[in-house]
């Protein structure tokens, strides 16, 4: 039987016994069995044996169930890693790996999915049931794959606003590169040739990005960084693949100038590997960061036609990896996308920090924003007149 199912049965039994009456006494049991009741005066009662309360049993079962669930997840994860490792090394042996750990078939599949998504956006509209107006869905989407120019403009705005904020606080930039040890790489370079890495632990790229996040969290939780006030710690992060398909990450961190020495010491202490690097002489932080962001975006037709660039863009979508992330220094992105015509990102961030913006959601649907107020003024109300439909023809 599945250990999880067995555990659930035990929980049900514990609940069932918890709802039943107390068990009959010794005298009552003897009477029920047709025997005379024992003389309680003549015979001393034996010592009572403690019976675990059903609620105690329930707690023990719940704790055990959580432990079994963790063990089950660990087993499943190990099986997935083993499968990914065998499949990846087979692809290399058969000469199917082209760039960034992807085969041509994986590239074609990824590009086909993106083409279907683009087709859906092109033939879908938001239709106003009352006025008959239609808004093409492709004009609203902000995506690195489907609207790279719109996405780039938004990222550029976020980077500029974050750096303006850092400069107002007299913070200085520190640039870091984090890589993973050799066991995370399925291949290694022998000259210009890829050869299998037999120490590879089977971690796929998406899980490797999570491992990079955990490693960066070690620095964020170190006293050298935690001693800095939260509003004086600002960072951007860009994920990129090695030739083997294993990710590495670039981080631009803004901190007070007096903390630079401690951060550099902590970085070398936590990340001693040769692939990890930290630089403090950054003179153009915007250009420095945008250089890495630009490499990841399919902004030009020429870039989309280049073979290696196609595999690079497919690596992100195939492995479902985020290109760019940042600290929570600015107003939430979901809020800015609703109010960008009314406020600049800097103005909205100032209102958000001062708690002048209030967001209301339905109790039964917390993922939906119903209304937004600035003070007592209603600045946004959800419109339920629109439905998502196929293009009906006519003017838009």
pLDDT at 28: 58
Helices within the chain (DSSP H only): 3-19, 26-32, 54-93, 104-123, 148-168, 205-220, 223-226, 260-270, 285-295, 301-305, 307-319, 333-339, 345-353
Helices within 245-284 (DSSP H only): 260-270
Q: Is the predicted pLDDT of residue 262 greater than 90, yes or no?
A: yes
Residue at which a domain ends, from 284, 311, 326: 326
Higher pLDDT, 240 or 3: 240
Map tokens 């006519």 to a residue: 394
Residue at which a domain ends, from 61, 77, 94: 94
C-beta of residue 205 within 8 angstroms of C-beta of residue 81: no
Mean pLDDT over residues 70-89, rounded? 77
pLDDT at 128: 84
If asked whether residues 202 and 168 sit together in one domain, one would say yes
- Considering only 28-32, 64-68, 167-171, which range has the smallest mean pLDDT? 28-32
Mean pLDDT over residues 233-259, rounded? 92
- Read off the tokens for 308: 């290696």
pLDDT at 126: 86
- List the domain range (segments joined by +) for residue 73: 1-21+50-94
Domain membership flag for residue 276:
yes
If asked whether residues 359 and 337 sit together in one domain, one would say yes
- Read off the tokens for 112: 């086909």
Domain membership flag for residue 295:
yes
If asked whether residues 189 and 273 sit together in one domain, one would say yes
Distance CA 139, CA 146 (A): 10
pLDDT at 383: 83
C-beta of residue 107 within 8 angstroms of C-beta of residue 315: no
If asked whether residues 208 and 280 sit together in one domain, one would say yes
Mean pLDDT over residues 12-27, rounded? 50
DSSP state of 146: T
Domain membership flag for residue 127:
no
If asked whether residues 281 and 190 sit together in one domain, one would say yes
At 40-67, the pLDDT tens digits run 455 555 555 555 556 666 666 666 777 7
Residue in 255, 244, 312, 305 with CA at minimum distance from that of residue 280: 255
Q: Is the predicted pLDDT of residue 312 greater than 50, yes or no?
A: yes
Q: Is the predicted pLDDT of residue 145 greater than 60, yes or no?
A: yes
If asked whether residues 201 and 234 sit together in one domain, one would say yes
Model confidence at 15, pLDDT cuts 50, 70, 90, reads very low
If asked whether residues 216 and 238 sit together in one domain, one would say yes
If asked whether residues 256 and 320 sit together in one domain, one would say yes
3-state secondary structure 220-250: HCCHHHHCCCHHHCEEEEEEEECCCCCEEEE
pLDDT at 48: 54
Strand partners, 279: 175
C-beta of residue 285 within 8 angstroms of C-beta of residue 173: yes
C-beta of residue 176 within 8 angstroms of C-beta of residue 212: no
Mean pLDDT over residues 339-349, rounded? 91
Strand partners, 386: 128
Domain total of the chain: 3
Higher pLDDT, 57 or 195: 195
Domain membership flag for residue 37:
no
pLDDT at 349: 92
If asked whether residues 149 and 298 sit together in one domain, one would say yes
Q: Is the predicted pLDDT of residue 21 greater than 50, yes or no?
A: no
If asked whether residues 188 and 298 sit together in one domain, one would say yes
Residue at which a domain ends, from 41, 73, 94: 94
- Considering only 4-13, 69-78, 190-199, which range has the smallest mean pLDDT? 4-13
Strands (E), the chain: 97-99, 102-103, 124-128, 134-136, 172-178, 187-190, 193-196, 234-241, 247-255, 277-279, 324-326, 357-360, 371-374, 377-381, 386-390
Domain membership flag for residue 30:
no
pLDDT at 10: 54
Across the chain, what does the average pLDDT equal? Answer: 81
Domain membership flag for residue 35:
no
Q: Is the predicted pLDDT of residue 365 greater than 90, yes or no?
A: no
At 316-330, the pLDDT tens digits run 999 999 988 888 888
pLDDT more than 70, % of the chain: 81
Higher pLDDT, 239 or 301: 239
Model confidence at 276, pLDDT cuts 50, 70, 90, reads very high
If asked whether residues 276 and 224 sit together in one domain, one would say yes
pLDDT at 254: 94
Model confidence at 240, pLDDT cuts 50, 70, 90, reads very high
If asked whether residues 155 and 256 sit together in one domain, one would say yes
Which range scores top for mean pLDDT: 148-162, 179-193, 201-215? 201-215
Higher pLDDT, 21 or 113: 113
Model confidence at 26, pLDDT cuts 50, 70, 90, reads low
Dihedral angle of Cα 81, 87, 90, 94, to the nearest 10 degrees:
-150
- Considering only 1-10, 106-115, 132-141, 311-320, which range has the smallest mean pLDDT? 1-10
Dihedral angle of Cα 68, 69, 74, 78, to the nearest 10 degrees:
100
Strands (E), 65-171: 97-99, 102-103, 124-128, 134-136
């Amino acid at each position: 039987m599945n250990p999880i199912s067995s555990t659930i049965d035990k929980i049900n039994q514990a609940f069932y016994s918890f709802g039943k009456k107390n068990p009959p006494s010794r005298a009552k049991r003897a009477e029920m069995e047709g025997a005379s009741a024992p003389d309680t005066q003549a015979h001393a009662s034996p010592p009572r044996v403690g019976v675990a309360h059903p609620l105690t049993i329930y707690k023990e079962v719940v704790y055990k169930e959580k432990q079994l669930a963790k063990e089950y997840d660990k087993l499943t994860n190990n099986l997935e890693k083993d499968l990914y490792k065998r499949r990846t090394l087979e692809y290399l042996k058969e000469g199917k790996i082209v760039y960034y750990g992807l085969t041509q078939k994986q590239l074609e599949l990824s590009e086909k999915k993106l083409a279907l998504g683009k087709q859906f956006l092109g033939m879908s509209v938001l239709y106003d049931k009352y006025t008959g107006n239609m808004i093409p869905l492709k004009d609203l989407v902000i995506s690195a794959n489907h609207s790279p120019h719109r996405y780039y403009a938004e990222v550029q705005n976020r980077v500029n606003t974050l750096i303006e904020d850092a400069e107002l606080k007299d913070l200085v930039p520190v640039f870091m590169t984090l890589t993973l040890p050799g066991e995370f790489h399925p291949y290694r370079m022998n000259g210009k040739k890829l050869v299998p890495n037999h120490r590879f632990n089977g971690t796929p790229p998406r899980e490797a990005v999570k491992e990079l996040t955990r490693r960066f969290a070690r620095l964020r939780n170190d006293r050298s960084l935690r001693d800095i006030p939260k509003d004086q710690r600002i960072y951007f992060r860009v994920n990129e693949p090695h030739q083997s398909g294993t990710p590495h990450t670039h981080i631009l961190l803004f901190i007070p100038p007096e903390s630079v020495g401690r951060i550099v010491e902590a970085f070398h202490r936590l990340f001693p590997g040769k692939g990890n690097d930290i630089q403090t002489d950054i003179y153009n932080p915007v250009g420095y960061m945008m250089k890495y962001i630009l490499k990841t975006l399919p902004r030009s037709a020429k870039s989309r036609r280049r073979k290696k660039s196609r595999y690079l863009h497919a690596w992100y979508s195939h492995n479902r990896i985020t290109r760019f992330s940042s600290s929570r220094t600015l107003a939430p992105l979901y809020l800015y996308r609703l109010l960008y015509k009314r406020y600049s990102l800097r103005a909205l961030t100032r209102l958000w920090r001062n708690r002048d913006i209030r967001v209301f959601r339905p109790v039964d649907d917390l993922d939906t924003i119903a209304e937004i107020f600035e003070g007592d003024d209603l600045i946004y109300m959800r419109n339920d007149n629109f439905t998502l439909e196929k293009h009906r023809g006519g003017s838009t």
